[in-house]
Each structure stands twice: as C-alpha cells, then as structure tokens.
Amino acid sequence: MCGIVGYVGSSTACGKPLEVCLQGLKRLEYRGYDSAGVALAAPGMDHVAVRKKAGRLANLEADLAKHALPEATVGIGHTRWATHGSPSDVNAHPHFNRDGSIVVVHNGIIENYAKLKQTLIGRGYEFLSETDTEVLAHLLDYYYKGKCAGNPLAALTKVMQKVEGSYALGILFRDFPEQIFAARKDSPLIVGGSEEGNFIASDVPAILKYTRNVYYIGNMELSLIHI
C-alpha cells in the first residue's frame, strides 16, 4: 500500500501545498512505501515542478532542503509501493508527459498498460520509466491535446474508459494551476474541505490535522478540487 495527498488553497503561491503534501505523506507512512515524490504548480509556471526520490521520505525532504521547489498554489504528493519497475528515482511518482504540463500520481495497477504503452509508442510517445503508471500521463496528453481540445475532465473520462485495473489518481495540469483532478476505481481516495483550502488523500489520517470534513469519492467517480 502507499499514499496520495494533495492540496489546493490559494490563488497566491505559497509554501502550504508542499507542507501539506509532506505532512500528509508522513501520516501515511504506516501503509509502507519504497519511494516518494511531490508535484507543485502555480500560475505562470511553464511546467509542473516535480521532485521524487527512492527510499525514505527523509531523502526527498533532504533533497528539497538542498534545492527548493518554487512556491505553489496547488500540490500533490505520493508514496509508492512498486508493482511495475524497481524502486528508483525514475520510477517514483509523479509521472509526467513530455512537456511536463500534465503530472500524475497513482495508487494501484494498470493491467492493460503494456498494450497501451505499445500504442502510445507507435504514436511517438517516449517513456522514461518502467512503470504501468506512466501510460496515464501520456494517454492524458494524447486526449487533452487531441480530441478533448484542452478539457481536462473530458481527457480524464477518456482515459478511464481505456484503462483496466485499479487506481486512485491525483492529477495536475499546468494550464489549471488552481485545481486538482482526481478519480478512483477499486483504490481508496477521499476529498477534504476546509475554510482555507481543499484536499485529496488516500486516507483520513493524512489530512486530519487540517480538516474533519471529508467526502469518500465513489468508485469510478471523478472529482475536481479547487479553491
């Protein structure tokens, strides 16, 4: 098992999205993990900022202390329990499309990833990792920039129709830096709300410090979390 946390809270970039992600991931450590990562976005950024490290959350924190990420309006974090691809920096989540404009964290397994990967490679997509998850970033890219013409929810709906398996997903789009897109099938994911901002998490303890107001996303349900 592994974990997802996300936060969107302000139209002015600040340190809170990163703080909430790291705090939340710490609270989910009991579920077990082999690597950890975060993604942050804010208006004006040319791509979503990603940092990920194999090993303990402390490795990621040490790296962030050495090379700080920019302040943000929205963030997502992930602890991984590898199912496809060894525990490594490259295989750690988040995963992203070629220009870094779409970034995904995923808990679960994409069972038909090999077939989807071949199709995407045939369309010119290049893969950096050995994970099943990376197909989601490129498939979102394919629909978002193609048939779905810049509509993230339409692209996510298409992806959900194409993939088989289990997933809890947190997704950032550079073009929507005040929103988190989420969806789940057979893996848990909740939404939390507070006066200051809104959350996603795999489990309540991740966000208990900030809110007790939670909503359990239904199976095959999509969520758009915004300020």
Q: Is 132 in the site for ligand GLU (CB under 6 A)?
A: yes
Which residue's CB is nearer to ligand GLU, number 100 or number 108?
A: 108
Q: Which stretch binds ligand GLU (CB under 6 A): 17-25, 105-113, 147-155, 199-207?
A: 105-113
Residue 46 region by backbone torsions, left for phi larger than 0, else alpha for psi between -120 and 50, else beta: alpha
Which residue's CB is nearer to ligand GLU, number 34 or number 221?
A: 34
CA-to-CA distance for 204 and 216, rounded, in angstroms?
Answer: 10
Q: Is 109 in the site for ligand GLU (CB under 6 A)?
A: yes
Min CB(167)–ligand GLU separation in Å = 9
Q: Is 107 in the site for ligand GLU (CB under 6 A)?
A: yes
Min CB(103)–ligand GLU separation in Å = 14
Which among 12, 173, 11 is positioned nearest to 97, based on CA atoms? 173
Which residue's CB is nearer to ligand GLU, number 31 or number 145?
A: 31
Q: Is 145 in the site for ligand GLU (CB under 6 A)?
A: no
Complete DSSP assignment for 146-189: TTTTT-HHHHHHHHHHH--EEEEEEEEETT-TTEEEEEEEBS--
Q: Which stretch binds ligand GLU (CB under 6 A): 66-74, 76-84, 138-146, 154-162?
A: 76-84
Q: Is 6 in the site for ligand GLU (CB under 6 A)?
A: no
* DSSP label of 98: T
Q: Is 203 in the site for ligand GLU (CB under 6 A)?
A: no
**Binder to ligand GLU among 133, 198, 202, 211 (CB under 6 A)?**
133
CA-to-CA distance for 115 and 191, rounded, in angstroms?
Answer: 32
In contact, 134 and 164? CB cutoff 8 Å: no
Cβ burial 137-167 (10 Å sphere, 16+ → b, else e): bbbbbbbbeeebeeebeebbebbbebbebbb
For ligand GLU, the binding residues (CB under 6 A) are 2, 80-85, 106-109, 131-133
